[in-house]
Chain A
Amino acid sequence: MCYLVRKIERNKWSCFSEQYLQNNIISSHPITNDLKVDRNNGLSLWEVDISNPTSIDNIALAIASTRSNLKNLDLLILNKSSLDEKGLVMKPTPGNSVFVRLNESHVDLTVIDISDIEKISREMFEIVDDKEYCIRYTENKLIRLFIDKIQAGEISLDNLEESISKKIKKKMTRNMT
């Protein structure tokens, strides 16, 4: 079964999940912040094999590598067939992470109008408080994963943002002493 990963800020959703689950109210705060689409109405998602934890870790690193600052990262894992059933359309669009190999697993969900936003946000509210589907990567966990990839020669420190590589170097120096 295929799953898709979306980067979110958990606090923006969890504060309103009770309101959704009890009264079916979709709060505008998480939607206007975490469901920003590009000029083509595309919402960035990554395909993932949830039976393989490394696959999720790799996506976490791919997303983290596109940011300018290394902070904790929340990933929400969505069931692709459930989105398909709701009539939501996805099209493969290469990602822009430093992991060239992974960029192929990037897709854009086409959010045509407000009803598509509603469909996807309902999916997200349903699972945001479920530990199995909402995964947090702490800053240190991301650093550890980056170090593994650097040592395996899969990525270079030079390709990362300066503020991110600075933190990784600090940790690597600490590990050596």
Chain B
Amino acid sequence: MNRDDVGNTNECFVLNTMQDETSDSSKYIIINKVFQLNNKEPNSVQNYDVGPDNSTMKLINEAIIEEYELTINKLCYKFKNQLIRSIKNDEFELGEISSSSIIFSDMMRQNENVAKRAINEVFLDCFHDDNVVYGVLEIISDIEYDVIYPNGQTIALAVSAYSDDRIKEALVRAFENWCNVESLRILNTIKFTSSWLESYRLDVIKDIEEFCDCAI
């Protein structure tokens, strides 16, 4: 079946309203689903009249959503596994752009929402693995505050309870990079026992206050 085979207005509507990310094969699956839901044979497309009634349109919409979600879920799963693999193999040398950061930036370009959901899922799946959590923090701290909001900030807040100094330091570094009033507010609620870490937190607070020209 191709676009030329679809002679019905409503069927064309189905094809035209689908998201750009939906592949051609997915579009055919959606059409087939609509037919199945209406107890029609998929191959009878040329003679099929969906009619203008609301129930048919509802079925079309449901099928579109179902297929779209499936596509998104598959992409998210792919991103998540790719990120976990990359983070586990990465060295994260301070002052150098990590390959995981480059991969994540590319994912953000492909589909920002899915990339953000994927990094969230990496954190949730691997919250017990300090090395992966550190990598996640390093990746999100390289992304602008507004772009990674709210996923990045939620992850950063969640790791404030971790005991590993390396993770705590990466947390402060993330807020240091975001450098705004919201970061300041959060940094003011955290305290560390290691003197060098606490000194770093206070220095960053001072820097952000100066940069934002404010104090809380």
Please list the residues of chain A having a beta carbon within 8 angstroms of any beta carbon in chain B: 9-12, 14-15, 33, 64, 67-73, 129, 131, 134, 136, 138-141, 163, 171, 174
Contacts and interface: CB of A to CB of B under 8 A. Distances in A.
A164 B169 CA distance: 20
Secondary structure type dominating chain B contacts: helix
Interface in B13-58: none
Interface of B: 91, 93-97, 142, 165-166, 169, 173, 176-177, 179, 194, 196, 199-200, 203-204, 207-208, 210-211
A11 B211 contact: no
A163 B97 contact: yes
Nearest to B141: A71
A72 B94 contact: yes
**Max chain B CB contacts within 10 Å: which of A12, A14, A70?**
A14
Contacts of B211: 140, 171, 174
Given A15-B165, A138-B204, A174-B211, A72 B173 contact: yes
Contact of B194 (A14, A139, A140): A14
8 contacts: A14-B194, A14-B196, A33-B91, A67-B96, A129-B196, A138-B176, A138-B207, A140-B208
Contacts of A12: 166
Contacts of B203: 136, 138, 141
B141 to A, nearest CB: 8
B208 to A, nearest CB: 8
A171 B211 CA distance: 8
B177 A64 contact: no
A73 B95 contact: yes
B95 A14 contact: no
B95 A67 contact: yes
B145 to A, nearest CB: 12
A139 B176 CA distance: 7
B166 A11 contact: yes
B95 A71 contact: yes
B166 A141 contact: no
A69 B210 CA distance: 22
A92 B137 CA distance: 38
B33 to A, nearest CB: 46
**Max chain A CB contacts within 10 Å: which of B91, B94, B194, B211?**
B94
B97 A138 contact: no
Given A14-B165, A139-B176, A140-B211, A64 B95 contact: yes
A7 to B, nearest CB: 8
Given A15-B166, A136-B203, A138-B204, A9 B94 contact: yes
A140 B97 contact: no
A68 B95 contact: yes
A139 B200 CA distance: 11
B173 to A, nearest CB: 6
A99 B91 CA distance: 28
Given A134-B196, A136-B196, A174-B211, 17 more contacts: A9-B94, A14-B165, A15-B166, A33-B91, A33-B93, A69-B142, A71-B94, A71-B95, A129-B196, A131-B196, A136-B199, A138-B200, A138-B204, A138-B207, A139-B173, A139-B177, A140-B176
